[in-house]
Chains A and B, each alone.
Chain A
Amino acid sequence: DVKVTQSSRYLVKRTGEKVFLECVQDMDHENMFWYRQDPGLGLRLIYFSYDVKMKEKGDIPEGYSVSREKKERFSLILESASTNQTSMYLCASSFRGSDEKLFFGSGTQLSVL
């Protein structure tokens, strides 16, 4: 069974902290994505990667960075967490050539206090 695993289900952090969200997929997918999901705003793309060491900005990259050192792992970094980054963060992956057919993790609910 295909799997995208996000390291934490719930996370509470303080304003100004550096936050790492980890995502691992076991499907040998080339593409990986980070979204945030907020009520009334839907899913918004933060960053994506089509290959190891490669990253591209999505629609809302400000305040975030990413790292993809291995094909199966894609990390989202909040350099200095702020309260407006309180959200549900979803990692997804897909095969090259079936890019839109996303497989999502269960999400990390991040609260920044």
Chain B
Amino acid sequence: QKEVEQDPGPLSVPEGAIVSLNCTYSNSAFQYFMWYRQYSRKGPELLMYTYSSGNKEDGRFTAQVDKSSKYISLFIRDSQPSDSATYLCAMSAQTGANNLFFGTGTRLTVIP
């Protein structure tokens, strides 16, 4: 079983829709959770960073962590064509990027 599972998609939504992207994980020790966004032919960029459980909001983006279910989500409100990208979840049990486990990414397309 992989440490982190992420549906690869692709996911296509109309502009303005609410998007939900999800990852599940198996290691209950994970406590640092991240979402990276990767545009085509670019490297990933950090979008959201959360520690432990709960929600974090940044503009149109909300990251949610449910440790009891081992499930994290990224919600995008009022989605825009510029949100079209691959979204990668990442998580770790302790600090240190050498301890990071990445999902395989979900490709999102927002249709104008």
Contacts and interface: CB of A to CB of B under 8 A. Distances in A.
Interface of A: 4, 31, 33, 40-43, 45, 48, 56, 58, 90, 92, 94, 97, 99-107
Given A40-B104, A42-B102, A43-B88, A104 B44 contact: yes
B68 interface: no
A91 B13 CA distance: 31
Contacts of A33: 97-98
Which secondary structure dominates chain A's binding surface?
strand
A31 B102 contact: no
B96 A4 contact: no
B90 interface: yes
Given A40-B104, A100-B49, A100-B90, A48 B42 contact: no
B110 interface: no
A101 B46 contact: yes
A4 B43 CA distance: 10
Contacts of A105: 43
Nearest to A93: B97
Contact of B95 (A4, A42, A100): A100
B34 interface: yes
